């Protein structure tokens, strides 16, 4: 029976269009980082059993309307999901497996803080089914870690990473660069060090001042000086691509680098504009049901979500997406990845041809490449992605 479902799913539209994944949001952190605009909260008392039951109830409800899918990947994000008890994670994975088939080598990622406490739980996560760890290292010097409001040190991070490496086959870590007072040379040195540590995947983000964060308040008030100007930030990006490639990690998305085959399958579902179920406070989803693609959003505040999930529904918003909406989302997501998009799929979604004048213009500028119905951004195009998308958006 499992085989039959798997086959059907393999041939169905969502597989072709990016696959199906599940995102589980754990909203709690030990401390809030000043640059972070994710839905994270600091709370002293968490009744983890209650939370587990809420997640399970959400999974049961989703399973009823999403039968016959294959789950390609699961992602525990946050917040800090490495604050969850391994048993909670294991129970969620078990429930997912109960409802949907998974491939033989499923990708089940958990985001982890690189602290000593978390490292002690890694064995438990692995036993519960987690196959991949994504670690928020962020910087490889203590001064900058402090500036970024991180509560761990470089030594702790390296030790945690060792443990993760000995426990999981796949471990990735994040760094934030284009930081205050960082020179191009500083970053080259730090990145080379990171590439020596790295196994097969790195996420390298340029620091962005997001609205509503502590950094943004400081920036508005004239604080947070020494951030790189546009030209330096662009040079840093170019150097990043170059050094990663030399180390065999290819930039497969704007900020993600991996050895061939080691790309994050879960994140690729977003960028290939597949279907994903998002559960937990503030989680977003994209679900195709009876031929209609919906954008879903769960209650944002932890307690509001918990109570609603217990009462019967953590989902707050469910909007049907028009063809144009879907086309624009596909553009926004698909042009981020090196493999690019299929213009036939794009035009079918939009019900209209792509703007060929804009295509010619962007091609002439060396920002995109096209062959047949296959369209992708060049590295320069990815660095100017917002403007490129601005030209092509429906």
Nearest one of 279, 296, 300 to 287, comparing CA atoms: 296
Shortest distance, position 386 Cβ to other proteins, whole Å: 5
Residue 22 CB, nearest approach to other proteins (Å): 10
Applying CB under 8 A, the span of 63-71, 131-139, 158-166, 378-386 interacting with other proteins comes to: 378-386
Sole window of 44-52, 137-145, 239-247, 360-368 interacting with other proteins (rule: CB under 8 A): 360-368
- By CB under 8 A, name the one of 6, 205, 250, 294 that touches other proteins: 205
State which residue, 105 or 230, has the beta carbon closest to other proteins.
230
- Which residue, among 96, 73, 68, 74, has the nearest Cα to 11 in the 3D structure? 68
Binding other proteins (rule: CB under 8 A), the pick from 20, 328, 338, 349 is 328
Q: How many residues does the chain have?
A: 394
Q: Does 248 bind other proteins (CB under 8 A)?
A: no
Residue 83 found at the interface with other proteins (CB under 8 A): no
Q: Is 100 in the site for other proteins (CB under 8 A)?
A: no
Using CB under 8 A, pick the residue from 284, 313, 316, 376 that binds other proteins. Answer: 284
Rounded to the nearest whole angstrom, what is the least distance from the CB of residue 119 to other proteins in the complex?
25
Q: What residues contact residue 260 under an 8 Å CB cut-off, 6+ apart?
A: 250
> Residue 345 and residue 176: Cα distance in Å, rounded?
34
The greatest distance separating any two alpha carbons of the chain, rounded to the nearest whole angstrom, comes to 62
* 146-149: Cβ within 8 A, 24+ apart: 147/179, 147/180, 148/33, 148/34, 148/35, 148/176, 148/179, 149/31, 149/32, 149/33, 149/34, 149/35, 149/214
Between 88 and 267, name the residue whose CB sits nearer to other proteins.
267
Mark 3-32 with x for binding to other proteins (rule: CB under 8 A) and - for no binding: --------------------x---------
CA angle 279, 276, 284 (to 5 degrees): 50
CB of 163: closest distance to other proteins in angstroms? 26
Distance (Å, whole) CA 114 – CA 116: 7
Element (H, E) at 276: strand 275-279
Cβ pair 176, 138 in contact under 8 A: yes
Shortest distance (Å) from residue 294 CB to other proteins = 12
> Which of 270, 279, 340, 354 lies at the binding interface for other proteins (CB under 8 A)?
270
Going by C-alpha positions, the residue among 53, 60, 93 that lies closest to residue 76 is 93
Distances (CA, A) of 169 to 108, 162, 164, 303: 12, 12, 9, 36
CB of 25 to other proteins, least distance (A): 9
Task: Please tell me whether residue 90 binds other proteins under the rule CB under 8 A.
Answer: no
Q: Is 365 in the site for other proteins (CB under 8 A)?
A: yes
Closest distance of CB 387 from other proteins, Å: 5
* Residue 333 binds other proteins (CB under 8 A): yes
- Quick check: 304 binds other proteins (CB under 8 A)? no
- The site for other proteins (CB under 8 A) is made up of 23, 205-208, 230-231, 233-234, 237, 254-255, 267, 270, 276, 278, 282-286, 295, 297, 325, 328-329, 332-333, 336, 361-362, 365, 367, 382-390, 393
């Amino acid at each position: 029976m499992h085989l039959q479902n798997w086959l059907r799913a393999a041939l169905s539209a969502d597989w072709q269009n990016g696959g199906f994944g599940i995102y589980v949001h754990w909203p709690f952190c030990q401390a809030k980082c000043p640059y972070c605009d994710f839905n994270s909260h600091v709370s002293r008392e968490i009744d983890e059993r209650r939370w587990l039951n809420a997640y399970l109830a959400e999974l049961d409800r989703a399973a009823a309307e999403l039968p016959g899918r294959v789950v390609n990947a699961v992602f525990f994000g946050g917040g800090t999901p490495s604050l969850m008890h391994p048993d909670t994670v294991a129970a969620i994975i078990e429930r997912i497996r109960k409802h949907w088939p998974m491939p033989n080598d499923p990708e089940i990622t958990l985001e982890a803080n690189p602290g000593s406490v978390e490292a002690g739980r890694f064995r438990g996560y692995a036993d519960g089914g987690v196959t991949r760890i994504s670690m928020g290292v962020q910087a490889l010097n203590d001064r900058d870690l402090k500036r970024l409001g991180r509560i761990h040190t470089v030594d702790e991070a390296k030790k945690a990473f060792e443990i993760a490496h000995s426990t999981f086959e796949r471990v990735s870590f994040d760094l934030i660069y284009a930081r205050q007072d960082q020179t191009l040379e500083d970053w080259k040195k730090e990145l080379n060090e990171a590439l020596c540590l790295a196994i097969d995947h790195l996420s390298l983000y340029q620091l962005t001042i997001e609205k509503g964060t502590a950094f943004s308040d400081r920036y508005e008030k004239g604080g947070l000086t020494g951030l790189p100007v546009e030209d330096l930030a662009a040079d840093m990006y170019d150097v990043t691509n170059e050094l990663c490639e030399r180390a065999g990690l290819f930039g497969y998305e704007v900020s993600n680098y991996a050895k061939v085959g080691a790309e994050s399958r879960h994140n690729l579902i977003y960028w290939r504009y597949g279907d994903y179920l998002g559960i937990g406070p503030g989680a977003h989803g994209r679900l195709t049901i009876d031929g209609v693609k919906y954008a879903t959003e769960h209650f944002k505040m932890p307690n509001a979500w918990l109570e609603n999930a217990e009462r019967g529904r953590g989902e707050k918003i469910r909007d049907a997406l028009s063809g144009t909406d879907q086309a624009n989302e596909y553009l926004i997501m698909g042009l981020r990845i090196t493999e690019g998009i299929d213009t036939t799929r794009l035009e079918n979604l939009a019900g209209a041809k792509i703007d060929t004048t804009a295509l010619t213009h962007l091609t002439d500028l060396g920002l995109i490449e096209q062959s047949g119905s296959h369209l992708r951004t060049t590295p320069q195009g990815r660095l100017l992605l917002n403007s490129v998308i601005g030209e092509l958006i429906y």
